[in-house]
């Protein structure tokens, strides 16, 4: 049972992911414009130029490991947990308010057993290999139509939308987790009411527009 230590850049918010393996989650890279806008949101509002460089790869992709809430816990500094939605309907994007490190993406419903954890919140072992071993290879590249930089440099198999195989695999994992009640415990939602533990900041359409990729 592999544990992955989670830690924001400044170290105030810490957590632990348990039972991490290629079997128990989806290791993917998402190039979608929302994930890119989110990286820019974390960078700009923090006033620290270049922060998104650590979140986004050379093509604007965000490396994510999708797991269930029952695999994810916060162990220190949860008062720094902050929440933004890029639009009223968008994903809940949880981040560390102390240093604006992305922490996790969830949907709005506490009942859905899904947490996407960005690699930027994961701590590598001394040589980085331990984390690579735990996550296994990247199995999918999603929304590559939004990718930036040299298109020829994209990995073979990068899909312009979300690859069907990945959707099928995701649904199977989700269904199994749903039946097993793995939406709980979750550090993101009140167990009784299902409300998020932090009131989300919801960006206005104008604020979202300012976060366009490539500064376009």
Enumerate binding residues for Zn ion (CB under 5 A). 8, 10, 12, 30, 32, 35, 96, 98-99
Query: What is the smallest separation between the CB atom of 82 and Zn ion, expressed in angstroms?
Result: 10
Question: Among candidates 115, 113, 117, which has minimal Cα distance to 172?
Answer: 113
Query: With respect to Zn ion, which residue has the nearer C-beta, 19 or 78?
Result: 78
The number of angstroms, rounded, from the C-alpha of 18 to the middle of its chain's C-alpha atoms is 16
Query: What is the smallest separation between the CB atom of 1 and Zn ion, expressed in angstroms?
Result: 27
Query: With respect to Zn ion, which residue has the nearer C-beta, 99 or 139?
Result: 99
Query: What is the smallest separation between the CB atom of 96 and Zn ion, expressed in angstroms?
Result: 4
Contact 41, 52 (CB under 8 A): no
Query: What is the smallest separation between the CB atom of 38 and Zn ion, expressed in angstroms?
Result: 8
Residue 77: phi, psi to the nearest 5? 75, 25
Query: With respect to Zn ion, which residue has the nearer C-beta, 4 or 14?
Result: 14
Query: With respect to Zn ion, which residue has the nearer C-beta, 69 or 118?
Result: 118
Buried b (16+ CB within 10 A) or exposed e, 24-55: bbbbbbbbbbbbbbbbbbbbeeeeeeebbebb
Query: With respect to Zn ion, which residue has the nearer C-beta, 16 or 98?
Result: 98
CA separation, residue 154 to residues 30, 99, 142, 144, 214 (Å): 12, 30, 11, 8, 17
Contact 146, 32 (CB under 8 A): yes
Query: What is the smallest separation between the CB atom of 62 and Zn ion, expressed in angstroms?
Result: 6
Contact 129, 120 (CB under 8 A): no
């Amino acid at each position: 049972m592999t544990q992955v230590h989670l830690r924001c850049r400044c170290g105030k918010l810490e957590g632990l992911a348990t039972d991490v393996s290629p079997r128990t989650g989806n290791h993917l890279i998402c190039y979608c414009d929302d994930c890119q806008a989110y990286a820019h949101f974390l960078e700009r509002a923090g006033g620290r130029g270049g922060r998104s460089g650590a979140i986004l790869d050379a093509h604007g992709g965000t490396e994510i490991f999708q797991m269930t809430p029952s695999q994810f816990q916060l162990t220190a500094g949860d008062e720094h947990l902050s929440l933004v939605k890029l639009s009223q309907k968008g994903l809940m994007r949880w981040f560390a308010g102390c240093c604006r490190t992305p922490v996790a993406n969830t949907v709005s419903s506490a009942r859905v057993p899904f947490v996407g954890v960005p690699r930027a919140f994961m701590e590598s072992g001394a040589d980085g290999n331990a984390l690579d071993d735990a996550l296994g290879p990247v199995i999918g590249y999603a929304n590559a139509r939004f990718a930036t930089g040299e298109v020829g440099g994209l990995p073979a198999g990068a899909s312009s939308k979300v690859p069907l195989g990945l959707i099928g695999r995701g649904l199977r994992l989700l269904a199994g987790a749903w039946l097993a009640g793995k939406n709980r415990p979750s550090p993101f939602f009140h167990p009784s009411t299902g409300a998020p533990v932090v009131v989300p900041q919801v960006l206005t359409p104008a604020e979202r527009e300012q976060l366009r990729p490539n500064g376009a």
